[in-house]
Each structure stands twice: as structure tokens, then as C-alpha cells.
Amino acid sequence: MTVGQKQRVFSGVQPTGKLHIGNYVGAIKQWAEHQDSYDNIFCVVDLHAVTIPEAVDPKQFRAKTLEVAALYLACGIDPAKSTIFLQSHVAEHSQAAWLLNCLAPLGWLYRMTQFKAKAGSNESVGTGLLDYPVLMAADILLYDTHKVPVGEDQKQHIEFTRDLAQRVNTMFPGAGLVIPEPMIPPAGARVMGLDDPTVKMSKSIAETKKGHAIGLLDAPSDIKKAIMSAQTDSANEARFDHAGPGVRNLLDLYQVLSGQSREEIEAEFHGQGYGKLKKALVERAVAALEPVQARYAGLTESKDYLEAILRQGAERARSIAARTHARLRDAMGFVAP
């Protein structure tokens, strides 16, 4: 079900680590920009956040979950246009994940690159980590989602969701699951670490390592320090197709934050020394995050408002999810409650 003729968008962020500019340009910024074109549902995926239980400190987890919800609003998600809720408030996510678990081949899960990277050779990892993509598929499929706006690292999870939905539809045709499409931005879909452009900018690294990321709530002086000390090279090459990985990362970020074309950016910075590019990027990053931080500061003083938004969001989400869940149960032959 969609509002009018609008297609449905669903996406989410895990409330773990430190939210950074990669999460913003890869995901949340495009959610906000496309808000009027779609029927939007944005979830703080707190159930996913406990798949690495060693990293969960209950007090911090609770605070971080509310922080991410407030950041959605601060980044421009408008509760009048978009539904915002916490995943654990809508029980259908866990319930549908169980049904999908029984239909998801184990081999597909063992092949997921994020599982392999996170599990490594540690045999005591939780089952939830392996099962993570199934819960994510439940998130998406419960809302008859057409588009999933995410960064590039989530592409394999969306492919998995599509394959699983097709399998379910073949086995139980009455399920009629909608096959979702990833929506990956043309620039900023994979922001790399400023300190090491060979690794993706990551919330968990950002938590412990200064200079790795531009945090959404970082002070301008920290943003400046991180960008000015970003790893570059000695080539003086500021053209998108020829730059080394560190400079390319800065150029890509500059492109998304300035909205300028590649040609304009190359004309401005090529052959100028990287200092000029870095200074200009500091200005763009600070200017982009300033209104986000100001709105966030206002929201920290209105906890009741945020909680009311999340309650209303969960109600609407539940009403949609319950229908799809019932359709799936019915297609599989469960007796209606």
C-alpha cells in the first residue's frame, strides 16, 4: 500500500558508533532530498545493533538510539512527510524474520561479505550476525518497499533481499512480496577514511580514532583538523579519474557537498596544491553540518517531542507491517489468530 501513487522508500541506520559524513551523503541526505517524491519510512534499526553484543553497553545503546532518531530529524527528515520509528517497537520485524529464516538458504548467508569480514575466524560470534541479512530483508519486505536508499556497502544485502523475496514468492505465491531496488547515490556512495583511504569510513573506527571521519556532531575545529590532515600524495593531481585514492575521496566529498560538476571542481583545484582543496572542503563540510548541529541541539531539549514522533511512527509502521506479515502467514498456511 502506498500513499496515492507514490512508491515506497524504506531505509535505516544502526545506532552504533559515531555517525559520520559517509552516513549522511551515502544515505540520510538523499532520504531528505527525495522526501516529497516517495512515501517514506525511516527506521532506527536497533535490533541489528545487538548482533555484536560485546559492543553493547545498555546505557549508551539507549542514548545512541535516541541520538540517531534525533539526527534523522536534524538532517531534514520531516515527520509530517516521513514515518520515523524504532525497529524494536514493531514486533513484526522479529516475527517476519523468523518466517524468512526458515526460507533463507544457509549457504546464501555464509557468502555475505559483511558476515565474513565481521566474523573473521571467531567461532563465538552470535547467530544474529549470520542472520543479519534476513532481519534486514524483513525490514524492507514488510513495507512492500520499492526503493532502498543506501550507500554502496549495502548493495549485497539488497541483492539478498531480492533473491529471498523471489524465492518466497515462488514457494508461496500468495505472499506477493514486492521486489525492492537499491537506490545508490551517484556520488558519495562510498566515502573512505580520511586517515586511510583504502578503508571505508566507518562508525566503529570513528568512535575510537580521531582523524578517521567527519562526525555529524563534530565541532568545526575537529572537522578542520581531520580534513587538513587527511592522507593525500605528492602528485598534485586533482582530477577525478587520475587522482590517488585519498585525493579522490576529498574530490568526491567536495562534489556532493558543493553540488558542482566534476569539470568545475577540476578547473578550480587541479594543479593548485591540495591545501586549497582541503580548505574549501572544510568550509563546505562545516556549512553543511552547521544547520544539522543547530537543529540537533534544539531537539536534545525536547525529548518528549522526539518520543511522541517515535510513538506515532511506530503506530503507522505497525499498521503497514501487520498487513504484510498477515499476508505472508496466510500464504504459508498459518491459521489466522
Pick the piece of the chain touching ligand TYM (CB under 6 A) from 7-15, 226-234, 244-252, 256-264. 7-15
| Cα 319 to Cα 115, 225, 310, distances in angstroms | 32, 47, 14
Round to whole Å and give the CA distance between 202 and 48: 16
Round to whole Å and give the CA distance between 18 and 67: 10
Which residue's entry shows cell 591540495?
274
> Cβ closer to ligand TYM: 14 or 83?
14
> Cβ closer to ligand TYM: 7 or 330?
7
Active-site residues, by number, are 118, 200, 203
For position 26 contacting ligand TYM by CB under 6 A, the verdict is yes
Greatest C-alpha distance within the chain: 70
Please say whether the beta carbons of 17 and 203 come within 8 A: yes
Q: How many CA atoms lie within 13 A of 58 on its CB side?
A: 0
> Cβ closer to ligand TYM: 12 or 266?
12
- How far apart are CB 51 and ligand TYM at their closest, in Å? 9
Strand (E) positions, the chain?
A: 8-13, 39-44, 82-86, 147-149, 181-183
For position 201 contacting ligand TYM by CB under 6 A, the verdict is yes
Among residues 8, 9, 18, 27, the one that binds ligand TYM under rule CB under 6 A: 27
- How far apart are CB 167 and ligand TYM at their closest, in Å? 18
For position 255 contacting ligand TYM by CB under 6 A, the verdict is no
> Cβ closer to ligand TYM: 205 or 299?
205
Burial of 188-215, coded b for 16+ CB within 10 Å and e otherwise, reads bbbbbbbbbbeebbbbebbeeeebbbbb
Query: 3-state DSSP call for residue 179?
Result: coil
> Cβ closer to ligand TYM: 151 or 246?
151
Residue nearest to ligand TYM according to CB distances in the complex = 26
- How far apart are CB 271 and ligand TYM at their closest, in Å? 28
For position 13 contacting ligand TYM by CB under 6 A, the verdict is yes
For position 190 contacting ligand TYM by CB under 6 A, the verdict is yes
Please say whether the beta carbons of 260 and 247 come within 8 A: no
Contact characters 115-154, ligand TYM, x per CB under 6 A: ---------------------x--xx-------x-xx-xx
> Cβ closer to ligand TYM: 67 or 273?
67
For position 182 contacting ligand TYM by CB under 6 A, the verdict is no
For position 45 contacting ligand TYM by CB under 6 A, the verdict is yes
Torsion sign, CA atoms 41, 47, 52, 57? positive
Round to whole Å and give the CA distance between 161 and 135: 10
For position 212 contacting ligand TYM by CB under 6 A, the verdict is no
- How far apart are CB 41 and ligand TYM at their closest, in Å? 10
CA end-to-end span of the chain, whole Å?
22
Site for ligand TYM, rule CB under 6 A: 10-14, 22-23, 26-27, 45, 48, 136, 139-140, 148, 150-151, 153-154, 157, 189-191, 200-201
